[in-house]
Amino acid sequence: MTTIDEPTSSPNGPTVDAAQWREIRAAAGGDGEAFGRLVQGHQQVIADYMWRFTRNRGEWEELVQDVFVEAYFSLKSFRGRAPLTHWLKKIATRVGYRHWKRRKQQRAEGNVPIQSWDAAAPAAPDVIEVQQAGAAVHAVLAKLAPRDRLVLTLFYLEGCAVGEIARLTGWSQTMVKVQAFRARNRLKKLLAEAEGER
């Protein structure tokens, strides 16, 4: 049976409690039931997070599953330097980013124009439904390059700080700031072009 080392403590103390660490070790050693309990304890958080990457229910379910499959095969590398949820969100960020890159490659030119996102909105902006607003934002962000979309989603939809985005993406904090600045400018340009085409 494969074993993994005890969790590495942070300066503030251990980040994984003893009971969870036993589950992690058992799951890394091939105990499917232990892994199932880990999934059950974190599935809702990851499912909510992955909804940022697609509004298609089938794709969303597949992405959530991909996160946990990747986590299963990477579990032996988990060292407990951060809570398990943080580690899973880092994997989820990579999975979602890869999904956007694949979608961008598959998307044919001349797809639904950006102006169509506001066709779903009612005439009065104050009565727009939450789902329609979410779909509209998602449609606009889908027009951006995956890196731009990722940084704006983490900043504005997830409410992450620069340091958190750096941790989730593996970028430096400076890179996060530069990417966010460029992404905002590209989004403004995209929206201005769409406005000019009306």
pLDDT digit string, tens, across residues 171-187: 999 999 999 999 999 98
Whole-number Å distance between alpha carbons of 99 and 17: 33
What's the pLDDT score for residue 125? 52
Give the orientation angle of helix 57-74 with respect to helix 32-50, to 10 degrees. Answer: 140
Q: In DSSP terms, which residues pair with 57 in a beta bridge?
A: none
In order of start, what are the domains of the chain with their CATH numbers? 7-106 (1.10.1740.10), 114-198 (1.10.10.10)
Whether 55 and 138 have beta carbons less than 8 Å apart is answered as: yes
pTM, full prediction: 0.69
Q: Which two tokens stand for residue 24?
A: 């992690």
pLDDT band at 135 (very low <50, low <70, confident <90, very high): confident
Q: Percentage of residues in the chain with pLDDT exceeding 70?
A: 81
Q: Which of 88, 86, 92 is nearest to 35 (CA)?
A: 88
Mean pLDDT of 50-54: 92
Q: Which of 197, 16, 122 is nearest to 130 (CA)?
A: 122
122 has pLDDT over 90: no
